């Protein structure tokens, strides 16, 4: 299955924003129309006010003018509230869509991309960056649309009332617009820096909380506290900087309107004195100047908010451009009577990054279907990497890996992984209940299957002693379980998948002798019907293997049985005489006989 990489071609921010809004365009249009109608009712008020003043000047009844003004005011408030609700609801829907898209994509990231990223920063992109889309949707799109149209309508009506006063007003606004054009780019840069700083703070916090026991045991709380505080201070500094420029932009608009009001009052007063216009016209124009402030502030707010949203959208798109696996529905798990899988590595070369040394230097071996194969060798020999390559967490630079004689790159990724049960070295357990963890790889497993694997992995006694049985919460990363219990949960989880190929990476390293012996027997039983690969350091595990692959410095140096390798391979003989025997003294006699 091929991997995908989101298009590297960078789209304009406005086009990205439209992509998130498009599914909600009709709701957004409804909200925009309500806002326009709200603005229209407001624009009608100065005209009614002018008529009311004329009626007063000529001793005419003003009842209908007052009734009409009251209706316009009430209608304006009601439509404004409804429009605001529709827009806010639409904005929340846009945020929801963005979070779904981004979280789904991050779950499909290639492990290589995760290795190069900070989890805390990625979390910040899902939480704080997507939240900013809420304001961008309403303030930017609707603000520019409705505010711009209302602004144009207001200017047209002002021109109809008195063109001279309109020219005076536009002259003042033009000066303010020039100042605003200088401020806007600074808002964008400060907003992007502030969001980056939030991501850095999240990354620091995730790093520390993920190893809090180590931090406390090392007495490093104060140093790590300074790291988080420094990141928080940088976020604060950049946010204040963005706030400073946003405030300057907003106050520039407000100052422009006040200056326009004063100028119009002065010039208009002079025109009234000369008889060029009457008092009603001046009052109507002043009301329009007052109403002009709202759409101008709306447009200014939209442009300002767009700069913040552009920074957030850029960070979201950066995450969506990370290399990811293609989306696919989960493949069905193997049938209970499925044949075990055969495996082969042919001259595989691999390194984790271009600037790192090779981990595998032409690894070659074959594992027939059914039986148990153990991988042994010094630390750093590349044993665990074998499992990562089988799962296609990484792809080799050269060479071929086949399962059932078929290159793993030709397998549909979901189908390949559905055939594999994998117990990692640190046997991670997720927050949630014990049942949730057991069913993680096979949510359709029945109670009979769960009971069977609990007994097989000797977890039945643990479950019986828990107050809520399988529904007991295991805590963050399984902190309420011991290391050995977490390993047994991980093994049970893998066995529930009925794998054709079972990968066990140091799967019994934290078990006591009794539980290890029981699980060793379980693995031996599983190996009769399944292909089992084990990375092991204990002689008791290795000697029961059908074949042993000895690895050293990224190469396979020997393959054989325990008896053959003790006689033929010096490194294995040394490991068997030292590390294995030191790990399991009870097997000394058996090893000496081998």
Q: Where are the domains of the chain?
A: 3-325, 429-498
> Exposed, middle or buried, 504 (CB in 10 Å: 0-12/13-18/19+)?
buried
Helix or strand run (H / E) with residue 303: helix 279-320
The pLDDT of 199-221, averaged and rounded, is: 71
**Confidence band (pLDDT; 50, 70, 90) for 17?**
confident
Place of tokens 């928080």: 232
The most confident of the ranges 33-47, 190-204, 521-535 is 521-535
Cα 120 from Cα 231, distance rounded (Å): 12
- CA end-to-end distance (rounded Å), the chain: 44
Cα 20 from Cα 25, distance rounded (Å): 10
Percent of the chain with pLDDT over 70: 89
For residue 343, give both structure tokens: 């495996």
Q: What pLDDT, in 10s, does the model give residues 217-260?
A: 667 777 777 877 887 888 788 778 877 777 777 677 667 777 77
Average model confidence (pLDDT) across the chain: 79
DSSP class of 109: B
By DSSP bridging, strand 420-423 and strand 406-407 are unpaired
Class for the domain spanning 429-498 = alpha beta
**Residue 443 neighbours by CB under 8 Å, 6+ apart:** none
In this prediction, residue 5 carries a pLDDT of 42
DSSP class of 230: H
For residue 96, give both structure tokens: 């929801």
Percent of the chain with pLDDT over 90: 8
**Widest distance between CA atoms in the chain:** 124
Class for the domain spanning 3-325 = mainly alpha
In this prediction, residue 403 carries a pLDDT of 92
């Amino acid at each position: 299955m091929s991997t995908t990489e989101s298009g590297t071609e960078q789209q304009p921010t406005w086009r990205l924003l439209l992509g998130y809004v498009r599914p909600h365009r009709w709701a957004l249009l409804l909200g925009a129309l309500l806002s326009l109608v709200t603005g229209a009712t407001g624009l009608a008020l100065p005209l009614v006010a002018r008529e009311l003043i004329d009626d007063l000047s000529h001793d005419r009844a003003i009842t209908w003018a007052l009734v009409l003004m009251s209706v316009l005011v009430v209608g304006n408030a009601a439509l404004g509230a409804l429009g605001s609700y529709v827009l806010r609801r639409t904005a929340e829907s846009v945020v929801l869509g963005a979070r779904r898209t981004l979280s789904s994509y991050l779950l499909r990231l290639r492990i290589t991309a995760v290795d190069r990223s900070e989890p805390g920063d990625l979390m910040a992109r899902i939480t704080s960056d997507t939240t900013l889309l809420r304001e961008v949707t309403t303030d930017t799109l609707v603000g520019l649309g409705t505010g711009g149209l209302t602004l144009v309508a207001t200017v047209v009506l002002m021109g109809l009332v008195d063109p001279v006063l309109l020219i005076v007003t536009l002259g003042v606004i033009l000066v303010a617009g020039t100042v605003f054009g200088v401020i806007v780019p600074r808002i964008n840069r400060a907003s992007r820096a502030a969001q980056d700083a939030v991501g850095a703070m999240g990354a620091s916090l995730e790093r520390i909380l993920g190893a809090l026991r180590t931090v406390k045991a090392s007495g490093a709380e104060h140093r790590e506290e300074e790291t988080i505080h420094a990141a928080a201070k940088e976020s604060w500094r950049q946010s204040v900087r963005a706030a400073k420029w946003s405030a300057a932009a907003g106050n520039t608009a407000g100052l422009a309107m006040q200056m326009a009001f004063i100028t119009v009052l002065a010039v208009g007063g002079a025109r009234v004195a000369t008889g060029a216009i009457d008092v009603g016209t001046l009052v109507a124009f002043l009301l329009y100047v007052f109403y002009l402030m709202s759409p101008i502030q709306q447009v200014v707010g939209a442009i300002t908010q767009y700069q913040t949203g552009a920074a957030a959208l850029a960070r979201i798109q950066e995450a969506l451009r990370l290399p990811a696996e293609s989306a696919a529905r989960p493949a069905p798990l193997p049938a209970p009577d499925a044949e075990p899988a055969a495996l082969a590595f042919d001259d595989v070369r691999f390194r984790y990054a271009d600037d790192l040394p090779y981990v595998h230097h032409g690894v070659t071996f074959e594992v027939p279907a059914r039986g148990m194969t153990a991988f042994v060798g010094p630390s750093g020999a590349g044993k665990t990497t074998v499992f990562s390559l089988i799962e296609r967490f990484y792809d080799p630079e050269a060479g071929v890996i086949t399962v059932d004689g078929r290159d793993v790159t030709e397998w549909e990724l979901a189908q390949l992984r559905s055939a594999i049960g994998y117990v990692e070295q640190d046997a991670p357990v997720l927050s949630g209940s014990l049942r949730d963890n057991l069913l993680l790889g096979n949510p359709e497993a029945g109670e009979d299957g769960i009971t069977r694997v609990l007994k097989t992995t000797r977890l039945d006694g643990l479950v019986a002693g828990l107050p809520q049985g399988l529904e007991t919460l295991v805590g963050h990363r399984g902190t309420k379980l011991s290391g050995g219990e977490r390993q047994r949960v991980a093994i049970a989880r893998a066995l529930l998948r009925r794998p054709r190929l079972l990968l066990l990476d140091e799967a019994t390293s934290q078990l006591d002798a009794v539980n290890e012996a029981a699980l060793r027997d379980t693995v031996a039983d599983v190996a009769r019907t399944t292909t089992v690969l084990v990375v092991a350091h204990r002689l008791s595990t290795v000697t029961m293997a059908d074949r042993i692959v000895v690895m050293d410095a990224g190469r396979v140096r020997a393959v054989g049985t325990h008896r053959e390798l003790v006689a033929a391979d010096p490194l294995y003989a040394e490991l068997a005489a030292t590390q294995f025997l030191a790990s399991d003294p009870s097997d000394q006699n058996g090893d000496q006989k081998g």
